[in-house]
Amino acid sequence: MSNCLTFKKSNCKNCYKCIRHCPVKSIRFSGNQAHIIGDECILCGHCVVVCPQNAKQIVDETEKVRVLLQGEEPVVVSLAPSFIADYTGVGIESMRSALKKLGFYDVEETALGATMVKREYDRILTEEDRDIVISSCCHSINLLIQKYFPSCLPYLADVLSPMQAHCKDIKRRIPNAKTVFIGPCVAKKDEADHYGDIVDASLTFEELSNWLKAENITLEQKLDQTEKSLARFFPTTGGILKTMTKEAADYTYLAIDGVENCIAALKEIESGRIHRCFIEMSACVGSCVGGPVMEKHQYNPVSDYAAVARYTGKRDFDVSQPETVELKKMFEFIDRHSAVPSDYEINQILRQMGKFKPSQELNCGSCGYNTCREKAIAIYQGKAEISMCLPYLKDKAESFSDTIVKNSPTGFIVVNDLLEVQQINAAAMEIMNLRLASDVVGEQVIRILDPMPFLKVQQNHKAYTERLYLAEYRRYVEMTIVPDKETNMLICIMADVTEEETARQRKEEISSQTVEVADKVVDKQMRIVQEIASLLGETAAETKIALSKLKESIKDE
C-alpha cells in the first residue's frame, strides 16, 4: 500500500484520539509518537479528521500533476460528483473553465464511470447466480475486506470503481491521455497508485482549492443542469441503489455507511445468516459527501445531500457501456502479518497493566482500544505501550503519592473551600491524638485546628507559615498552609517541633540558671575584692604614716 498518510511528529501530543476513532486500530505508538501501520490501514481518513493537532498529513500530489501538465500528453480530470457539495453553487462547466486555466485538457464527471459500474452491478444480479454481492466503489471498504474479512472476498463485486472505469474510458477515447482524479477521498490515492496506469494521479478537493488560490483563479457561481445525470447520486448513502434498475427481484437491496456498521454487516455475512442480498457499502458516514477531505472537515448531512439531489437528473448519462471483461477487477487477500498472542501471554500483559482479575478490566477506552484485552494484544504486537492506560497511570501515581504522604513524618491535612477536611495522614493524626481519619474527614477543620489561618490563606491566596503551640494537644508545630488555585483546596503541612522546642526551652532555662549563678559568683567575688581592698588600704595608710615619721626623724638628725 502506498504511503498516503504521514504524521508530523512534533505535533503528536499523546491524546490517543486517532486510535479511538480508527475502526481497525492500525496506529502504533512508540516513543510517545503515533505511526500508521501500512499493512493494517484501510485509509478511511478518520484520523485526519479527528486529530486536534493536525498531526496527520495527506501526501500532496499537486507537484506530480504539475509535472504531468508540462508534458505533451493531454491531461484529463475525472471530477468526483461530490464536488457539488464541496463547492457550493459551482457546476461542472464552471469547474471545467477553472481547471482548464490550470492547464488541463478537459474535465469530466466521474459519474460517467459510475453509470458504467451500476449497469454492471445490475447485469451481475440478473445474469449470474451470486448469493451476496458487495459494491466495490469504496476503496477503503475493499481494503477492509481484503485485510480483515478475506472470507467475504468472493462476495466483493469484481468490478472497477467508478474512478477507474471512467479514467479507463478517457484513455480509450483520447489517445495518450493522462488522467487525474479529484475528490474528497484519501484512499483513492492508494487505489490510483496500486492498480497500474489507469489513474495517473489523485488530488483532494483541498489540494485543488489551494492550487486555484495560488493561481488567483476564482470559481464562477453558476449551476448548469442536465436531465441525463442520474449517477450524480453516487456520493450519497444509497446513491448507488437509486441509480440501479434493481430488476433482480429476489435480492434484498440495502445501503450501509460507516466502517463500524460495515464491519458489523461483514461479521453477519461471515456467520452465514445473510443470503440473496446486494449491499452498497461506504466507509464514510453519508458516503463520499461525508469524506475526510471535504474541505469543511465536518459532515453536513442535510445540506450536502440536498446539493447533490438538486444537481442530479432523472436519467442515465449517455455513455458507451464497456464489455464485462473491461470492467473486471480482481481483489487479492492482503496479509497483515499480525502475531496473535495466547491467552497466557494476554493475561501476563494484563498483570503488567495492574489487571489481576476481570473486575479490574475497566474497558474505559481512554487508551483508544475498546477493551483491556484488545489493548493487551496491541502491546504484544508492538502497537501500544503499557503507559497508555490512564487508570493504570492514575493508580500508579496515586499509589506513589499516597505512599509518600502516608509514610511522611510530616503531617498533611487537605481542606476544601468549605474548610472541610478531605484528607489527613498518620503523622497529622498522631500530632492531634486522633485514632481514625474517619473521625474528622468531612468535618469542619475547626474541630481540630484554629480556622483563622485557613481563612487568611483563602482570602489572600498567599501561603502562610507560623510556629505555634497547640495547647489542646500539648504540641509545638511548624505550620504551613498553601493554597491550590486549580482545586480551591488548602494544604496544611505540619512539622512536629515539640522536642526541638522543648530542647530549646530547656537550653534557655539552663542558660538563665547559669547566668544567675554567674551573677551571684561575680557579686560574691566583688565583695571579697572590696573587703581585701579595704584591708589593704588601711595597712598601706598606716605604713605610709610610719615611713613619713621615720623620714622626718632622720632629716632632723
Which is more confidently placed, 229 or 9? 229
Say if residues 243 and 255 touch (Cβ distance below 8 Å): no
Confidence band, pLDDT 50/70/90 cuts, at residue 82: very high
Amino acid at the residue 369? Y
Residue 555 lies inside a defined structural domain of this protein:
no
- Looking up residue 174, the CATH number of its domain turns out to be 3.40.950.10
- Shared-domain flag, residues 207 and 314: yes
With a pLDDT cut of 70, the percent of the chain lying above it is 92
Residue 68 lies inside a defined structural domain of this protein:
yes
> Which backbone phi and psi does 33 adopt, to 5 degrees?
-130, 145
Residue 35 lies inside a defined structural domain of this protein:
yes
What range does the domain containing 522 cover?
501-550
- Shared-domain flag, residues 280 and 384: no
Lowest mean pLDDT among 53-62, 121-130, 410-419, 541-550: 541-550
Residue 492 lies inside a defined structural domain of this protein:
yes
Task: Quote the pLDDT of residue 388.
Answer: 76
Q: In the predicted model, what is the mean pLDDT of residues 421-441?
A: 90
- Shared-domain flag, residues 142 and 207: yes
Cell numbers linked to 330: 480482481
Residue 79 lies inside a defined structural domain of this protein:
yes
- Shared-domain flag, residues 186 and 114: yes
Task: Quote the pLDDT of residue 546.
Answer: 58
pLDDT tens string 369-399: 888 888 888 888 888 877 777 776 666 656 6
Does residue 364 register a pLDDT over 60? yes
Lowest mean pLDDT among 122-126, 262-266, 358-362, 432-436: 358-362
Cell numbers linked to 451: 480556622
What is the C-alpha separation between 499 and 480, in angstroms, rounded? 19
Does residue 554 register a pLDDT over 70? no
Confidence band, pLDDT 50/70/90 cuts, at residue 517: confident
- Looking up residue 470, the CATH number of its domain turns out to be 3.30.450.20
- Shared-domain flag, residues 460 and 534: no
- Shared-domain flag, residues 360 and 318: no
- Mapping DSSP onto H, E and C, the string for 53-77 reads CCCEEECCCHHHHHHHHHCCCCEEE
Task: Quote the pLDDT of residue 497.
Answer: 92
Task: Quote the pLDDT of residue 512.
Answer: 80
Residue 557 lies inside a defined structural domain of this protein:
no
Computed over every residue of the chain, the mean pLDDT equals 89
Confidence band, pLDDT 50/70/90 cuts, at residue 323: very high
What is the C-alpha separation between 197 and 180, in angstroms, rounded? 11
pLDDT tens string 246-288: 999 999 999 999 999 999 999 999 999 999 999 999 999 999 9
Cell numbers linked to 18: 486517532
* Maximum Cα interatomic distance, the chain, rounded to a whole number of Å: 178
Reduced to 3 states (helix: H, G, I; strand: E, B; else coil), residue 13 is coil
Which of 303, 327, 351 corresponds to the end of one domain?
327
Q: In the predicted model, what is the mean pLDDT of residues 199-227?
A: 94
Among candidate residues 234, 409, 386, 394, the one with its CA nearest the CA of residue 312: 234
What is the C-alpha separation between 349 and 208, in angstroms, rounded? 47
pLDDT tens string 125-184: 999 999 999 999 999 999 999 999 999 999 999 999 999 999 999 999 999 999 999 999
Residue 334 lies inside a defined structural domain of this protein:
no
Task: Quote the pLDDT of residue 550.
Answer: 58
Q: In the predicted model, what is the mean pLDDT of residues 443-455?
A: 93
The Cα angle at residue 84 between residues 211 and 238, in degrees rounded to 5: 130
Confidence band, pLDDT 50/70/90 cuts, at residue 300: confident
Confidence band, pLDDT 50/70/90 cuts, at residue 361: confident
* Total domains, the chain: 5
User: pTM of the entire structure?
Assistant: 0.71
Q: In the predicted model, what is the mean pLDDT of residues 33-43?
A: 89
- Shared-domain flag, residues 185 and 275: yes
Which of 466, 481, 496 corresponds to the end of one domain?
496
Which is more confidently placed, 139 or 486? 139
- Shared-domain flag, residues 364 and 349: yes
What is the C-alpha separation between 236 and 248, in angstroms, rounded? 22
- Shared-domain flag, residues 235 and 363: no
